[in-house]
Amino acid sequence: MSGRVTEERHGFPGALRALGGPGGHVGAPRHADVVVVGAGPAGAAIAILLAEHGLDVVVLDRAALPREKICGEYLSPEAARVLDRLGVLKALDAAGAAALAGMRITAPDGTSVVGRYRPFGEFRPYRQHAMGVARETLDGALVDRVRSLPLDLREETRVTDVLVEGGQVVGVRAEDREQRPLEVRAPVVVGADGRHSIVAQRLGCRSPHALQRLALATYVRGVPECRELGEIFVDPPDYAILNPLGPERVNLSVVVPLAHAAPWSRRLEDFMTARVRQLPHLARRLAGAERVAPVRALGPLAHRVTPPRAGGVLLVGDAAGFYDPFTGEGVFTALRSAELAAETVVRALRAGDVSAAALAAYERARRAAFAGKQRVTRALQTVIAHRRLANWTCRALARRPGALDALLGVFGDYVPPRALASAVSGAGFRTPR
Ligand SMILES: Cc1cc2nc3c(=O)[nH]c(=O)nc-3n(C[C@H](O)[C@H](O)[C@H](O)COP(=O)(O)OP(=O)(O)OC[C@H]3O[C@@H](n4cnc5c(N)ncnc54)[C@H](O)[C@@H]3O)c2cc1C
């Protein structure tokens, strides 16, 4: 079995043709109310919500769907709420999504705590469990729902450029599987095209992040009693996650500094095996387990994105930025940002004003929804980067299960981070000496 490093790069061999150069000719543009670039969780979600408002929506995805995507495949309890609203939750349950009652966290010294998705004060999870779902199943269910609606979904159609006129985004250029050019014009373009968003790049919004990490991912079977809890192993500078998807399939992801992985890019299996051995508590957990899939790798993980200055455009999901998969909120963020963006788009189209000022309501809603959790995930990066601090935090959480449940509620996206602050101070946390 050979490993593979996935780092999507954008070459635009068709761009010249799309611009009317040799080999191609742009036909009459397709006009729509909204063009959505990308049909992953964010793009599919916003397309479904906009179609329910009767809008004419074109969705373009460069892949044949569902595509392969490296992911820990954990869905927070609150993701279930949005998936239910989108009409796909029952399909995921029927497909055998694993119900995860909580999370076990193991510190470098072996201290281990288990938190559960329970109501915390006034805050209740949509369901008292998270889910382990293969991306193929999740993305497949979402795209099936897209296909069932009156939407113009075009797979294997790669967006190559963004059309900007007078400071306003007015559409996109794309090319289909045969590299035939296509122009779609719409008052609103939604960039839902993931980590390497062409929409964000073309508008100058995307830049690298100082956090340089790489994820190694595979599947294992034969891990004893790995059914109803996700498991996180913290061992600086690495961390690892076991996420059960079914009785004989567990997603194993190990996140390492990018620089440590670089010399091993052609020997990922060897690198992952060596790395797992360096995490003794994980290695013990995997004794007797068997790897059942190739090792894939993806990095760097984090990137920064600033909101577009132009009108007529919004970025949702990973296209709007990505930090680190430790707290597993990427899909929830994609779905929730799509919900927030759909509200703004519908309001702006009704008012006939899709200027940057009108669409700024979405950025404000995004900040209100995600800024608190982002602060928690950044603070956690400090904790998991320092052995002593990670041990101390885990021991403190072991003494105060209430604070642990609150933390898990924040991980699970149903407890606001401000409630965590009171749970932590109520737990009498003092910094280690
Ligand atoms: C190692 C790792 C582990 C993770 N683990 C978890 C986890 O356990 N739980 C969780 O919730 N999140 C996790 N995430 C994050 C999660 O995978 C993402 O946040 C999520 O996929 C974002 O959805 P999206 O729709 O924004 O982007 P994507 O899922 O990346 O979808 C983007 C879509 O755009 C299409 N596209 C791209 N470029 C173009 C183009 N030029 N033209 C047309 N189409 C285009 C792609 O084909 C794709 O279909 C993890 C991420 C990583 C890297």
CA of 365 to the centre of ligand 1 (A): 21
What pLDDT score was predicted for residue 283? 97
Work out the average pLDDT over 200-225: 94
Strand intervals (E) in 306-422? 313-315
Q: Look at residue 140 and tell me whether its pLDDT is greater than 60.
A: yes
Confidence of residue 327 (pLDDT cuts 50, 70, 90): confident
Count of other CB atoms within 10 angstroms of residue 180: 17
CA of 70 to the centre of ligand 1 (A): 8
Q: Look at residue 406 and tell me whether its pLDDT is greater than 60.
A: yes
Q: Is 40 a member of any domain?
A: yes
| CA–CA gap between residue 323 and residue 300 (Å, rounded) | 10
CA of 426 to the centre of ligand 1 (A): 37
The secondary structure of 278-308 as a DSSP string is: HSHHHHHHTTT-EE-S--EEE----EEEPPP
Q: Are 375 and 349 in contact (CB under 8 A)?
A: no
CA of 361 to the centre of ligand 1 (A): 24
For ligand 1, say whether the CB of 315 is within 6 Å of any of its atoms. no
Cis status, amide bond into 307, omega within 30 of 0:
no
Q: State the closest ligand 1 atom to the C-alpha of 318, by its place in the atom list counted from 1.
A: 26
For ligand 1, say whether the CB of 97 is within 6 Å of any of its atoms. no
For ligand 1, say whether the CB of 38 is within 6 Å of any of its atoms. yes
Q: Is 50 a member of any domain?
A: yes
Q: Is 91 a member of any domain?
A: no
Confidence of residue 5 (pLDDT cuts 50, 70, 90): very low
CA of 69 to the centre of ligand 1 (A): 7
Portion of the chain with pLDDT greater than 90, in percent: 80
Confidence of residue 18 (pLDDT cuts 50, 70, 90): very low
Work out the average pLDDT over 381-406: 92
CA of 406 to the centre of ligand 1 (A): 27
Range of the domain at 15: 4-70+137-209+303-372
| CA–CA gap between residue 177 and residue 407 (Å, rounded) | 46
The secondary structure of 104-116 as a DSSP string is: EEE-TTS-EEEEE
CA of 3 to the centre of ligand 1 (A): 20
Task: Look at strands 74-75 and 130-132 and give their pairing.
Answer: antiparallel
For ligand 1, say whether the CB of 102 is within 6 Å of any of its atoms. no
Q: Is 191 a member of any domain?
A: yes
CA of 394 to the centre of ligand 1 (A): 30
Give the H or E element holding residue 8: none
Q: Residue with the nearest Cα to atom 21 of ligand 1?
A: 331
Q: Look at residue 334 and tell me whether its pLDDT is greater than 90.
A: yes
Q: State the closest ligand 1 atom to the C-alpha of 10, by its place in the atom list counted from 1.
A: 41
Q: Residue with the nearest Cα to atom 39 of ligand 1?
A: 193
Q: Residue with the nearest Cα to atom 52 of ligand 1?
A: 71
Q: Look at residue 427 and tell me whether its pLDDT is greater than 90.
A: no
Number of domains in the chain: 1
Q: Look at residue 230 and tell me whether its pLDDT is greater than 70.
A: yes
pLDDT, the chain, mean: 90
Is this structure's pTM higher than 0.85? yes
For ligand 1, say whether the CB of 190 is within 6 Å of any of its atoms. no
Q: Are 315 and 200 in contact (CB under 8 A)?
A: yes
Confidence of residue 26 (pLDDT cuts 50, 70, 90): low
For ligand 1, say whether the CB of 296 is within 6 Å of any of its atoms. no
Q: Look at residue 357 and tell me whether its pLDDT is greater than 90.
A: yes
Domain harbouring 167, CATH code: 3.50.50.60
For ligand 1, say whether the CB of 215 is within 6 Å of any of its atoms. yes
Q: State the closest ligand 1 atom to the C-alpha of 251, by its place in the atom list counted from 1.
A: 8
Q: Is 9 a member of any domain?
A: yes
Q: Which of 5, 61, 324, 339 to mutate to test the pocket of ligand 1 (most atoms within 8 A of CB)?
A: 61
What pLDDT score was predicted for residue 143? 98
Of all residues in the chain, what percent are helix, strand and coil, respectively (each to 5)?
40, 25, 35
What pLDDT score was predicted for residue 20? 32
Q: Render pLDDT for 262-313 as a digit per residue (tens, 0 to 9).
A: 888 889 999 999 999 999 999 999 999 999 999 999 989 889 999 999 999 9
For ligand 1, say whether the CB of 334 is within 6 Å of any of its atoms. yes
Q: Are 373 and 413 in contact (CB under 8 A)?
A: yes
Q: Is 174 a member of any domain?
A: yes
Of the listed ranges 15-24, 38-47, 67-76, 175-184, the one predicted with least confidence: 15-24
CA of 8 to the centre of ligand 1 (A): 11
CA of 196 to the centre of ligand 1 (A): 9
Q: Look at residue 23 and tell me whether its pLDDT is greater than 90.
A: no
What pLDDT score was predicted for residue 390? 96
Q: Look at residue 328 and tell me whether its pLDDT is greater than 90.
A: no
For ligand 1, say whether the CB of 41 is within 6 Å of any of its atoms. yes
For ligand 1, say whether the CB of 253 is within 6 Å of any of its atoms. yes
For ligand 1, say whether the CB of 58 is within 6 Å of any of its atoms. no
Q: Residue with the nearest Cα to atom 41 of ligand 1?
A: 159
What pLDDT score was predicted for residue 19? 30
For ligand 1, say whether the CB of 161 is within 6 Å of any of its atoms. no
Q: State the closest ligand 1 atom to the C-alpha of 63, by its place in the atom list counted from 1.
A: 47
Q: Is 96 a member of any domain?
A: no
What pLDDT score was predicted for residue 425? 64
What pLDDT score was predicted for residue 24? 44
Q: State the closest ligand 1 atom to the C-alpha of 38, by its place in the atom list counted from 1.
A: 34
Q: Is 387 a member of any domain?
A: no
Tokens (6 digits) for 131: 């889910």
Q: Look at residue 25 and tell me whether its pLDDT is greater than 70.
A: no
